[in-house]
Structure 1
Amino acid sequence: MLSKHLRSKVTAVGVTSTLGLGLLTGCSGSTGPGAPDREITVWSQENLPDRVAATQKIVSGFEKRTGIKVHLVGVDEGQMPQLIMAAAASGKLPDVIGAAPMGQVWQMYTNGLLNTDIPKKIVSELGQRTFNTNALDLTSDGATRLGVPSDAWLQLMVYRKDQFDEKHLPAPDTYDRTLKAAQALTGKGHDGMSAATDPSDVFTSQSFESVALANDCQLVDDQHEIALASPQCEKAFATYDRLARTYGAPGTQTVDSTRATYFAGRSSMVIWSSFLLDELAGLRKDALPSCPRCKKDPGYLARNSGIVTALKGPDATEAAQFGEVTSWVTTKTAETAASREFIEYMMGSGYESWFGMSPEGKIPVRHGTAEQPNRYIDAWRHSDIGVDTRKPFDQVYPASLLNQLAAGVSNMRRWGISQGEGALVGATNGELPVPKAIGEMTGGQTSPSEAAREADDEVAALKKSLQ
């Protein structure tokens, strides 16, 4: 589980293992632009079996239209940093990488592995105004386009609206309201909150960052100094400790256990990504809601859940939205013309099929074309969600929620990106200093202030090692 919430770590790793033997074959072997042989290698981090199959179908359409041969390889996101550096060292970089999260993009850019001229030309050709402005900003270094932003997912606070209504509690959109609700709804055999505490998973970092940003807790300040020991961050650590430990289930809480607890009706709130939405609606057999009333009515939990997309802490002036934008990037050895044609196809003729693989977690950041400004965002609203059962997104959830999700991309904020510290963000996703501090804190080994200082020291050391 990295920047997008994978359905199953075992499945994801299995796909990588299956494809691993051929992973670095058929790639460009030079140090400059690849020879124009109309043959490219594409690594995609949409590597679950159903998504690999869906992507291959799109690729086949591209090959038929253009005559360009594409070698598609599914790559596990957790292994990508090591694989890309190994490929660079051996002179076997792929031409294109898809579904690349911001931290990874910045790492590759900092290491001089990207061709940034191709994305600039693609965005210009497709029309800059057809893209979400914030998505473009988050995937650029000033005037330099690091990649072509494709789609996004958002972090959500999902809560039992029926239980909140019974106790006359407002939606948990502030620290105070969330803490009061967690306290009121915690009882024997029932937790007020399900929040990740696993020290070995970036999901914990994502969950905490969504809470931290709400209080204007930043990874680095405007002077590029590590800021995790700031008063705002200490407050964020203390709040997360109360939510996860005081009002949450005992023991280490993971991406799977947090979802399972909420789905079983044993907690009233869960911090998860928008990838949860199809499962919440009972559309995936291997992750069905299991609450007492869900067994006869799989849609019960979705109908009785409310969703908050942005949270606000006492030290912040406005609510904050956490999420991830994934992009198409081209490497320094990419075959220029063929790579450009491929990405333009994936952002044009193949775009609806691409985000249609999992619309709840692939919100299009290109809303339409110059002629049809809302073409893609409208298609996204009508796209089918689910795996074993497929239903139109806008028939499962109300328009108000879809509006929240679409608007959330414009309001998205992230640690370190706007300060130009994207490489550090990528490094923290590998070393996990914040999840480790969270794990110790919620395990009762350290206080929130100690956890904040520990995380600050670890990230500062990591930043120094990158210099």
Structure 2
Amino acid sequence: MPTTRRPAGRATSAAALAACAALVLAACSGGDDDADGGITVWIQEDLPDRVAATQEIVDGFTSASGIAVELVPVGEDQFNQLLISAAAAGDLPDVIGGVSLPQVRTLSANELLDVDAVAEVVQTLGEDTFTGRALELTRDGDAQLAVPSESWLQLLYYRTDLFEAAGLDPPTSYDAILAAAEELDTEDLAGFVGATAPGDAFTEQTFEHVALGNGCELVDEGGEVTLDSPACVEALDFYGTLVQEHSVPGAQDVDTVRASYFAGQAAMFIWSTFVLDEMAGLRNDAMPSCDECAENPAFLAENTGVVTAIDGPSGGEPAQFGEVTSWTVVGESDRDGAVAFVEHMMTDGYLDWIAIAPEGKVPVRVGTAENPTEFTDAWAELPVGVDTKAPLADFYAPEVLEALRAGPEGLSRWALEQGQGDLLGATQGEQPVATAVNEVSSGSEARSTAETAAEAVRSIQESVS
């Protein structure tokens, strides 16, 4: 599966960017405009079909505005290094699209953003046309750092047919998840499968999703690392127990987790919304292979429920992990052209952009002043898939689609609200949390593992402070 479809590929080597960008800022002239007044736009999409679809949107903008655009697709695993090189050469783009929350904070920490231009776009579009949570997560104090565009969500998926047959409640809490895993776990069926591979952002994201609902935070309001807090120890212990006693053997990554569920070998799994089209049998190289899927490739989609927010025993309320990706304007860019382009991508070009991958681009600009739900209403009817295309509504129950629509409003992320977004970005390079998850999943004691991970995060924090 290409990395651009993985939930884990959005923020790697941010520590290197944080360290290097500061050294090259003096050389930055930013957004080196073409002689004809054009702009350069980077997008973190490099699959040919997505680049082609984006180019069509860009061509429409150029036709309407007269502003030439050089579109540069950037691979997710190359983004930070290319950004460092461009900054050193004084050749930064004018606009960057598909920017993750940690990347937004790293760009901001290195003073690479034109926050006034970003604020102008948001004000023109209308703050009340966005989900409030998306604006909060892309804001630092009073400064709007990026224009939030879409989100993908981390979800707990479960077999509704198996749960109903066993008389089990939906797995919305630690207790319910563990009870279901114990009840459904057999020689042929794992109660749960989740990521455990060390050094993998997908493992960190999966655990953060589980941990947030237990009140486990990376740092507290004062910026002190709290990964070794009782709430985090409890979350690690819960996940370790779940995996050791009720999962499949071996380290699990983004591909093997999906494969187990698709083969009908797991009752629950955690993955992003990018799996929805594949689960419906719309992608030939990632088809469900369960026994029932031979006659009905959409069997799993029709018999899968989703849990957005998980509730832990020490948490105040259920919490939801996800990512918001944004458009942002680079400092010293062709401001007028950049602002016009981003406004186009959030208006006339918005649904075409969302349509590139609706399963992983849930709109966070929900509508317009005239039609407050225009974009979310249209999103549910957009065709998804690769080799076969059809709307999500053809396969998933209305309550699933409603959960996806509402999900962005309840997103939480470690460190952002505590003003430590640069730390979140920096941890993506070393992945101490993924290492801790792998260790407890292999039998290590949760408290000592949490303490080791916390010390690693503290060391990273010192390096970026």
Q: TM-score interval w.r.t. the shorter chain?
A: over 0.9
Q: Post-superposition shift, 1:40?
A: 1.3
How far 1:352 moved relative to its partner? 0.3
Q: Give per-residue Cα distances to partners, 1:232-252, cap 9 Å, x unaligned.
A: 000000011112222111111
Q: Describe the SS at the equivalent of 2:293.
A: coil
CA contact (8 A) 1:33 1:336 kept: no
Distance 1:59 1:433 in 2: 40
Within a 5 Å distance, the mapping from 1:348-359 to structure 2 comes to: 348-359=347-358
2:100 paired with 1:104: no
Q: How does 1:174-189 map to 2 (within 5 A)?
A: 174-189=173-188
Post-superposition offset of 1:57 = 1.4
Aligned equivalent of 2:372? 373
Query: In the aligned structure 1, how far is the partner of 2:8 from the partner of 2:399?
Result: 30
User: What do the CA deviations read for 1:50-87 (whole angstroms, capped 9, x no partner)?
Assistant: 21121111111112211211111211223222221221
- Structure 2: how far apart are the matches of 1:4 and 1:170? 34
Contact 2:192/2:242 (8 A) holds in 1: yes
Matched residue, 1:145: 144
Aligned counterparts of 1:319 and 1:105: Cα–Cα separation in 2: 26
Counterpart of 2:405, as a letter, is A
SS of corresponding position for 1:195: coil
Tell me how far apart the structure 2 counterparts of residues 112 and 308 of structure 1 sit (CA, whole Å): 38
Mapped to 1, the partners of 2:448 and 2:153 lie a distance apart of 29
TM-score (norm 2): 0.93
The count of residues paired between Structure 1 and Structure 2 equals 448
Contact 2:151/2:361 (CA < 8 Å) preserved in 1?
Answer: yes
Taking the TM superposition and a 5 Å limit, the aligned residue runs for 1:123-142 are: 123-142=122-141
Counterpart residue identity of residue 321, structure 1: Q
The match for 1:388 is: 387
**What SS does structure 1 have at the residue aligned with 2:250?**
coil
Mapped partners of 1:111, 1:442: distance in 2: 37
Instruction: Determine the C-alpha separation between the residues in 2 that align with 1:403 and 1:32.
Output: 41
The alpha carbon displacement at 1:34 in A equals: 4.8
Give how far 1:205 is off: 0.5
Amino acid at match of 2:337: A
Distance 1:135 1:50, change over 3 A: same
Following superposition, the deviation at residue 33 of structure 1 comes to: 6.4
Instruction: Describe the SS at the equivalent of 2:78.
Output: helix
Indicate the residue corresponding to 2:94 in structure 1: 95
Q: Measure the CA separation in 1 of the matches of 2:460 and 2:434.
A: 15
Question: Deviation digits for residues 354-401 of structure 1, max 9, x if unmatched?
Answer: 011111111111111111211111111111111111112222223222
Partner of 2:248: 249
Match of 1:448 among 426, 446, 450: 446
Q: Which residue of 1 aligns with 2:311?
A: 312
Q: CA deviation at 1:116?
A: 0.9
1:6 paired residue number: 6
* Structure 1: tracts of 5 or more residues without a match: 14-28
Question: Is the alpha carbon distance of 1:350 and 1:271 closer, same or farther for their aligned partners in structure 2, counting shifts above 3 Å?
Answer: same
Deviation, structure 1 residue 8: 11
Assess if the C-alpha contact under 8 Å between 2:115 and 2:329 holds in 1.
Answer: yes
Root-mean-square deviation (CA), in Å? 1.9
Amino acid aligned to 2:274: F
Q: What letter corresponds to residue 430 of structure 2 in structure 1?
A: E
Kindly indicate whether the alpha-carbon contact (under 8 Å) linking 1:98 and 1:329 is maintained by their aligned counterparts in 2: yes
Q: Secondary structure at the match of 1:164?
A: helix
Q: Which amino acid aligns with 1:262?
A: Y
Cα drift, residue 93 of structure 1: 0.9
% identical equivalent positions: 46
Q: Secondary structure at the match of 2:56?
A: helix
Alignment of structure 1 residues 274-353 onto 2, 5 Å: 274-353=273-352
Q: Which amino acid aligns with 2:461?
A: K
Who is 1:464 aligned against?
A: 462
Change in Cα spacing, 1:230 to 1:30, as seen in structure 2 (3 Å) is closer
The CA deviation string for residues 93-143 of structure 1, in whole angstroms up to 9 with x for no partner, is: 111110100000100100111111111000011111111111001000011
Whole-Å Cα distance in 1 between the matches of residues 223 and 8 of structure 2?
36
Q: Is the 8 A contact 2:302 2:397 kept in 1?
A: no
1:205 paired residue number: 204
Q: Evaluate the alpha carbon distance shift between residue 255 and residue 32 of structure 1 in structure 2; reply closer, same or farther with a 3 A threshold.
A: closer
Shift of 1:271: 0.4
The answer to whether the 8 A contact 1:3-1:203 is kept is no
Contact 1:130 1:367 in 2 (8 A): yes
Partner of 1:17: none
Residue in 1 that maps onto 2:114: 115
The aligned amino acid for 2:147 is V
Question: TM-score with structure 1 length normalisation?
Answer: 0.92
Structure 2 residue identity aligned to 1:428: T
* Secondary structure, aligned partner of 1:73: strand
Rounded to whole Å, the distance in 1 between the matches of 2:426 and 2:89 is 22
2:23 aligned residue: none
> Secondary structure of 1:77's partner?
coil
One-letter identity of the residue aligned with 1:202: A
Query: 1:85 maps to what in 2?
Result: 84
What's the CA shift for 1:184? 1.4
Name the amino acid aligned to 1:87.
Answer: A
Inter-partner Cα distance in structure 1 for 2:87 and 2:342:
21
1:30 deviates by 5.9
2:90 and 2:96 map into 1 onto residues whose CA distance is: 16
Q: Give the Cα separation in 1 of the matches to 2:241 and 2:47.
A: 35
Matches within 5 A, 1:255-274: 255-274=254-273
Contact persistence 2:28–2:89 (CA under 8 A): no
Tell me the CA shift for residue 38 of structure 1: 2.5
How many Å apart are 1:48 and its aligned residue? 2.1
Determine the C-alpha separation between the residues in 2 that align with 1:158 and 1:5.
Answer: 18
The residue matched to 1:382 in structure 2 has which SS? Answer: coil
Question: Partner of 1:423 in structure 2?
Answer: 422
The aligned amino acid for 1:423 is D
Distance 2:28 2:104 in 1: 21
